[in-house]
Amino acid sequence: MASGIKDKVAILGMGCSKFGERWDKEADDLMVEAFEEALGDAGIETKQINAAWLATAIEEQHVGKSGVPLAVALRLPYIPVTRVENYCASGTEAFRGAVYAVASGAADIALAMGCEKLKDTGYGGLPQRSRGVLNSMSWANFSAPGAFAQLAAAYRAKHRAPAEDVKRAMAHISVKSHDNGAKNAKAHLRNKINIDTVLQAPVVAEPLGLYDCCGVSDGAACAIVTTPEIARSLGKTDLISVKALQLSVSNGQEAQYNAWDGSHFVTTRTASKRAYHEAGIRDPRTDISLIEVHDCFSVTELVTMEDLYISKEGEAVKDVLDGFYDADGELPCQIDGGLKCFGHPIGASGLRMIYEIYLQMQGRAGPRQRRDSPRFALTTTSAASRTRTSALSPSSANMGNSSNGLSRTPLILRPRTGRDSAPIRGLPR
């Protein structure tokens, strides 16, 4: 019977490049920038790394295929290097590979790197090229803003929420992200905005306006993981460990049958429940101290609050407008600016989320540091047919992932307390 990865893996070091329009840097420069910070943080040498994973989503635009670009950029010592791709959850997929390698005993120290260099293409958003015959047939008229605008419409219809209330909650989310990003020296967008600017912005796909949409960025993020025992032998004391890692991938039923009303993400709900049970989270709303979610659009963050069982169904709008998820609120979300403002280099975003949680748990987040160190923290990333949920904590590990026509990855971090798993209050079995 599978025993899971809880308490088997600790983060030894992390690094992240500055995100943005990095015209003066190549993809390998960005990987080196993130790696040098992670290596210095870990306090090891490159020769001590046993295996590595590289995440890129649109590799044709920059690094190319295979794991060779990572091995060359970092001059890795002829070790196994695997390239992975899982849409926007690619960075967490690389992290999952490294974590599994350490948890299984296949590697003592493993590296996960996520990188994307998209701004050189000239596109304002994602470069348009075929994703294969199946997607070209089933997604012939697909656009990301159009798809998530339908999510907003379905959410409003299901909960009979006034359009103006949902729009204002989405605007609050965008203003919050800009406020938080302004405190982050590595963020792509550091300008503050106000509610009126968001509400009066041009419409991209009703009800999504300009400021409800995240762009794409150049950037890289990196994690080095090992066992808690090795970490301690290297002099580490305040360990941040993985508590759970779950992945859920849609089988297509949501889009092909009428059982799904389009107002939520099945995969996120599936992955989060698995991760909570593995990590011993009894009540996500009170147990979790900090979250990073996939806010490709403001409505995605709004709906995800309910799919993570933090806000009750139909009540995320109220929680958002009440400031529950603000930086000084009960449960901060996107305290680093999120995809919206920190930036969204597709292959790096999942690792960037973990990077922020890691800094917050060690009290190293600078101007955006939470007054109270997080007990549990969670991240979730999404892509077009998967969802990932992950949980981390000092000196123990628990992560979870889920997916439903999209990919999502929640990550939870927490100080090790030895709490046992228990039924989760308010969650359906």
DSSP states of 89-126: THHHHHHHHHHHHHHHTS-SEEEEEEEE--GGG--SSS
pLDDT value at position 404?
A: 32
Q: What is the pLDDT of residue 123?
A: 63
Note the pLDDT of residue 409.
43
* Per-residue pLDDT reduced to its tens digit, 136-179: 666 667 788 998 999 999 999 999 999 999 999 999 999 999 99
**C-alpha to C-alpha distance for 190 and 368, rounded to whole angstroms:** 13
Of 357, 367, 372, nearest to 413 (Cα)?
A: 357
Residue 126 has pLDDT above 70, yes or no: no
Q: What's the pLDDT band for 418 if we cut at 50, 70, 90? A: very low
Ramachandran category for residue 314: left, alpha or beta (phi over 0 → left; psi -120 to 50 → alpha): left
Asked whether the predicted pLDDT for residue 29 surpasses 70, the reply is: yes
User: Does 393 have pLDDT greater than 80?
Assistant: no
Asked which of 291-295, 356-360, 392-396, 400-404 is least confident by mean pLDDT, the reply is 400-404
Q: What is the mean pLDDT of residues 16-29?
A: 95
For residue 412, is pLDDT > 70?
A: no
271 pLDDT above the threshold of 90: yes
C-alpha 214/C-alpha 192 separation (Å) is 15
Identify the active-site residue in 88, 214, 296, 333: 88
Q: Is the pLDDT of residue 115 over 90?
A: yes
Q: Is 96 exposed, middle or buried (0-12, 13-18, 19+ CB in 10 A)?
A: buried
The verdict on whether 88 is a catalytic residue reads yes
Round the CA-based radius of gyration of the chain to a whole number and report it: 20
Q: What is the mean pLDDT of residues 94-107?
A: 97
Which of 74 and 131 is assigned the larger pLDDT?
74
Alpha helices in 245-386 (DSSP H): 253-256, 266-279, 284-287, 298-307, 316-321, 338-341, 349-361
Which pLDDT band, with edges at 50, 70 and 90, does 405 fall under?
Answer: very low
Whole-number Å distance between alpha carbons of 51 and 399: 20
Q: Which of 219-233, 249-263, 350-364 has the lowest mean pLDDT?
A: 249-263
**pLDDT band (50, 70, 90) for residue 401:** very low
- Length of the chain equals 429
When mean pLDDT is compared across 60-69, 98-107, 221-230, 332-341, the lowest value belongs to 60-69
Q: Where are the domains positioned within the chain? A: 10-120+216-228
What's the rounded mean pLDDT across residues 12-24? Answer: 96
Percent of the chain with pLDDT over 90: 71
Is 344 annotated in the active site? yes
Fold annotation for 10-120+216-228: Peroxisomal Thiolase; Chain A, domain 1 (3.40.47)
Question: CB–CB of 365/377 below 8 Å?
Answer: no
Q: What is the pLDDT of residue 387?
A: 60
User: Cα–Cα distance between 26 and 120 in angstroms, integer?
Assistant: 10
Q: Is the pLDDT of residue 245 over 70?
A: yes
* Active-site pick, 178, 264, 294, 344: 344
Q: Which residue has the tokens 């901060």?
A: 332
Using left for φ > 0, alpha for ψ between -120 and 50, and beta otherwise, residue 160 falls in left
- Of the pLDDT bands very low, low, confident and very high (cuts 50, 70, 90), residue 327 is very high
Lowest mean pLDDT among 22-26, 58-62, 120-124, 341-345: 120-124
The Cα-based distances of 279 to 34, 125, 237 in angstroms read 29, 36, 21
How far apart CA 58 and CA 131 sit, in angstroms, is: 10
